[in-house]
Structure 1
Amino acid sequence: MDLLRHLRFFVAVADSRHFGDAARDLGMTQPPLSQGVRRLERQLGVRLFDRDARGVRITTAGQALLPSARELLRQAGELVDQADDLAIPDRVRLGIAGDLEDLLDDVVRALADTGAGVVPTVAGSVELVDLLRDGLLDLAVVRHPGVLDGLAAGPVLILPTRLEPSGSPAGLAQCELPIAVPPRHHQPPAHDQLVDALRRAGHSGDVVEAPGVTQRRALRAAGAAVQITPASARDGIQEGSECPPLRLRVVAPHLGHRRPEVDYRTGIAALEEALTR
């Protein structure tokens, strides 16, 4: 999906001949747009634009590739439209960050209880954001902080956390085992923020990156690591653990990119309530 996203950047800049204007047209800020164009240039092995004080000019190579880029985007749009026609219309495509651990069931159930059919996808937050931008998800619960340009994001929801297993030391400063966490590439800013918080709380900051919930639980069961898992309000907060909270946001496409058959307001409200009750 990164190729299609970066091709959209390329076409937008080619049409406007200005990075700032292209970013505004795409509903995002300029830095990630510029980074995306540079990544596309590296992937293709050609320079697409000449940039200097006078502005942006498309190169000969860029001009030659532009029609093919437009055609690929057109075909991708047709593919998504065809898939939408084949899909069951009242189902909500929900993305869930794997960091939710034991709260995954509560989140999916809360959306299903609204009467909507739910098609869940569990993945890293960066991947979920890309799927939202590409029109392949309707809603997502993602880690905060992260880059959400071009999307509508709700308030930051702060969930208490606790050390698992239950026999772990009460405080992070007394815990000598590493923390089992999702891979950094799932959401780099949130990962780095967590490691900094662990060190401030007296832990070494050592982590074991494990991509799946099952693998993190296996590391915990083997005594090779501990976990910091979200705890709902009804579960209470572990006294003296100083565990950094889990920060989440419910994210949706902007109004102009939403499917009319999905009740976004009800879905967003149900997800936010499930995460904060």
Structure 2
Amino acid sequence: MGEHVAAFHTATNAVQALNRGFDVNCDTRLLYCKRVAGSRVIHVDEEHVRDLWLFPMFQVTLFRTLRSMWGVAVLESVVIRRALKVFSLQMVEYFNQKANISQSFPLGTFNSAFSFTGSKHIDATETKSLSSDGFYFPLAKVVDSFSFNNQVIHPQPASGTYLSGKDVRVIFRRRGGDDLEQDHSMWLRTVCSSPDVIQMTFCPITDLIDEVPGKEHLAHIIGLYLEYKPPIEELRYFLEFQIAHVWAPLHDRTPGHRRKEPLCPSLQFSIMGQNLYITVGRLQVTGLRLFLEGEASTIG
């Protein structure tokens, strides 16, 4: 098992990542999986398990509620060829469909594949079209009790528009294997001993809380996070900025006698003299609404 240590750790981490939380704004790598103890989003029966033989040399423990499929790397190779697609629609949807995400926002996998910044507006203005061409060599697939339809493979068009070398940017990506091997055939032999996760399928958390009050608010927050992609440490302030604030007290037009109590106690007014003074402490004032009552009023 010595030469398959890396493969054993990758397979074990992949199984342990099932049913846990994942930030889809990140690339599909196991290190971005939420691995806090007891943080599984879906409860699984960890007492009833079975062994999954991936290679003749080692096995991993698999929950009985999950099933697996595995095959030889070369025989199970899948050719993925995508024609030139417009940035904002078809290529984004292609990556999202593979991840089982219905939203049309670019995911971390998409941004990582094309070395984008993550800002949809900036990347779209600098990109005219995109194309993806490559090979998948799946060694094993661990899926939940339900399965998804296979992605339709579209052939590469036989002809296309002429592009000069300055108009095309080629990005080369490899997952798994020995990165020091430059030759493709030699690198292919190292995939079995050093595999990596090449694809993940997700279930939105909002699909698991159908009867929970406030589901629409959580869905709206997730949509904002996927669209604008703020840093996770600034997410709280980003969400607070989305809330509609009342920057000044609303004028009460109801007739009748009422007490003149301050509606906003953080603001203190002083009208002694020709100037109007406002004491706000360390709070920021972004707007002010002033009502003058009486038969005649002048502002100088």
TM category, shorter: under 0.3
The structure carrying a bigger helix percent of its residues is 1
Q: Higher relative contact order at CA 8 Å, sep ≥6: structure 1 or structure 2?
A: 1
Asked which structure has the greater CA Rg, the reply is: 2
The structure carrying a bigger strand percent of its residues is 1
TM-score (norm 2): 0.25
